[in-house]
Structure 1
């Protein structure tokens, strides 16, 4: 890696890890707020992570569909990405939420330099 130091690589990894961790926690907190609770708990017999995956998956679908709708209706801000940016990621892969959760768990630590 010409021009890159080990420290730069570690800092980049830590920044990426922090972003993934905070994004996941932010999405969970939005759902908790909407449900009027401080913690989202699955009903008996269900895995907590399955419920969270469903919530995050539905949010991802809703956000992208809303972006497409606003662009089509001429309601998107001037700086909005081109509609093709959103159309090419639809449908959101069914494993998106599960993959995001797994990546969040994987990068939850940090590296030191």
Structure 2
């Protein structure tokens, strides 16, 4: 599972979210912080593989890892999704406007036909 780091922060977020395991990790961390061991219990992959997923999420700014004694605790960074949410909202508005214009055009063409 080699993931090249994208150049810009938004690309790193979308790249990180492209993997279902990473999305599931974020879902679990949205409930509460978990140790790497607690996270690893949920996946049929090795702990090093889970750590690789965590590194991708951390590089994208979607989670933080802290050390508490011998435990590595992971927590979601909600603000990590802010730029992606704003990008989606902006483009959703553009597409909604375009679909509305198309609908008006099609409606007017239907009305013009006998």
Q: From the two aligned structures, give the one with the greater strand fraction.
A: 2
Shared fold per TM-score greater than 0.5: no
The structure that has the greater radius of gyration is 2
Structure with bigger RCO (C-alpha 8 Å, 6+ apart): 1
Normalization by structure 1: what TM-score? Answer: 0.32
